Amino acid sequence: MNHKVYILAIASFVVGTVELILGGILDLIASSFQVSIAKAGYLISIFSLVYAISAPVLLNITAKFERKKVYLWALFIFLLSNIVALASTGYSMLMVSRILAAMSGSFIIVLSTTMASRLVKPEYQGRALGIVFMGISASLVLGIPIGIFIGNAFGWREVFILIALLTAIIMVIVAISMERLEPAPVVPIKQQLNALRNTKMLSIHIATFFVLAGHLTLYAYFTPFLQETFGLSSGMVTLVYGIFGLAAVAGGGFGGVLSDKLGAPTAVIGIIGAFFLSMVALPFAVKLPFILFLIVMTVWSALSWAVSPAQNNLIIQSAKDNPDVLISTNVAISHLGIAAGSYVGGIIINGYSSLFNGWVGSILVLLGLLATVIAVTRPSISTNSIQSK
């Protein structure tokens, strides 16, 4: 595997931590700026919203520029956002830093995936994507505990100091070791939206939305689920999240390898199908001894992150002329799915047992599986076919 793929994975890890790292230090930020926890939570909400819409726009604006240069500029803006965060004198200034971080961060993640696929031979594209998604999944899993540890030990500003330092190091490494990558042909946003008229691409995006919505319907409320079903202490909940995280990171790599071995269409159907079964099983697994429940949960966790690299490889194979803008659209839709799943899960848990979160989530994942079956049975698209619509 090209070692530059690992550089992109490390960059994705550092950038990805920013999305959820505030989740563990909201109380510190609220106290520092004398705002409510809910208002501090808006810093996460605005990040997700900006993240969802930024990458497609930025990809089109920069589509004619050499990709290494664009990547370095995106890293610089991300570095600047963290400097603004650590220097924030008020809530509004920190909000601005979150907007800058979301814009540059979403762009860096999409660039990392598309650049990784271009750095390797076609037969290794799925594996390269899997490595990058291991970095992304690790960041999302470790972001909250990293934030809690550093924030409580040193202060919340030190969290952003660390991220800024790591970003600066990555910029130097990328500048020295990464070769130039010329841009792919341009697909304007209007034509990109035309791709949604294509049954195959629309079905892929619908699948992404429902699979992530289904997953977050339970995962966003996994702590109360564990406390309600097993009465776990906060320490045990942390341990369970640690196991979940390790499985998620491994799952990202597994999804990429499976995509290369079986082909993206077969891998995506197999992974989402197995993911559906694991979600159905999870609420029933609470009746089993705790160690057996952990095994079921580990499978669920690994499969949840195995979907992304296989799904993105399917997009690359389905739109070979210019997949990066379509991947960016998929990233945006994935964040809408995360938001929808969290919202639906909140409605359920307010009125019913948390077990229903798993069952409702399973139904949403099943809808995603059906959309995937439609997607893989339709022909691939090309830039020319998009433009002709």
pLDDT value at residue 372:
94
Is pLDDT at 195 greater than 60 in this prediction?
Answer: yes
Arithmetic mean of pLDDT, 369-376: 94
Q: What is the pLDDT of residue 361?
A: 96
Per-residue model confidence (pLDDT) at position 128:
87
Domain boundaries, the chain: 1-183, 186-389
Q: Which of these ranges, 99-108, 126-135, 278-287, 304-313, has the smallest mean pLDDT?
A: 126-135
Q: What is the pLDDT of residues 266-297, one digit of tens each?
A: 999 999 999 999 999 999 999 999 999 999 99
Neighbours of 34 (CB within 10 A): 9
Please compute the mean of the pLDDT values over residues 3-10 and round it to a whole number.
90
pLDDT value of position 54: 86
- Report for 134-143, 231-240, 263-272, 312-321: range of highest mean pLDDT: 263-272
Q: Is the pLDDT of residue 164 over 90?
A: yes
The CATH number of 1-183 is 1.20.1250.20
3-state secondary structure labels for all residues of the chain: CCHHHHHHHHHHHHHHHHHHHHHHCHHHHHHHHCCCHHHHHHHHHHHHHHHHHHHHHHHHHCCCCCHHHHHHHHHHHHHHHHHHHHCCCCHHHHHHHHHHHHHHHHHHHHHHHHHHHHCCCHHHHHHHHHHHHHHHHHHHHHHHHHHHHHHHHCCHHHHHHHHHHHHHHHHHHHHHHCCCCCCCCCCCHHHHHHHHHCHHHHHHHHHHHHHHHHHHHHHCCHHHHHHHHHCCCHHHHHHHHHHHHHHHHHHHHHHHHHHHHHCHHHHHHHHHHHHHHHHHHHHHHCCCCHHHHHHHHHHHHHHHHHHHHHHHHHHHHHCCCCCHHHHHHHHHHHHHHHHHHHHHHHHHHHHCCCHHHHHHHHHHHHHHHHHHHHHHCCCCCCHHHHHCC
Confirm whether 1-183 and 186-389 share one CATH topology: yes
Q: Which pLDDT score, from 0 to 100, does residue 220 have?
A: 76
* Residue 382 pLDDT grade (very low, low, confident, very high; cuts 50, 70, 90): low
What confidence tens digit (pLDDT) does each residue in 320-367 have?
666 666 776 787 788 888 878 877 887 788 788 889 999 999 999 999
Range of lowest pLDDT (107-116, 120-129, 306-315): 120-129
- The pLDDT assigned to 191 comes to 64
Distance of CA 134 to the CA centre of its chain: 10
- Which of the four pLDDT bands, split at 50, 70 and 90, describes residue 1? low
Q: Which CATH superfamily is domain 186-389 in?
A: MFS general substrate transporter like domains (1.20.1250.20)
Q: What percent of the chain has pLDDT over 90?
A: 38
Residue 159 has pLDDT above 80, yes or no: yes
Residue pLDDT, tens place only, 243-271? 888 888 788 888 888 988 888 899 999 99
Confidence at residue 184, expressed as pLDDT on a 0 to 100 scale: 67
**pLDDT higher than 60, residue 387:** no
Q: How confident is the model at residue 237 (pLDDT cuts 50, 70, 90)?
A: confident
Task: Name the pTM for this structure.
Answer: 0.72
Q: Is the pLDDT of residue 41 over 70?
A: no
**Predicted pLDDT at 189:** 65
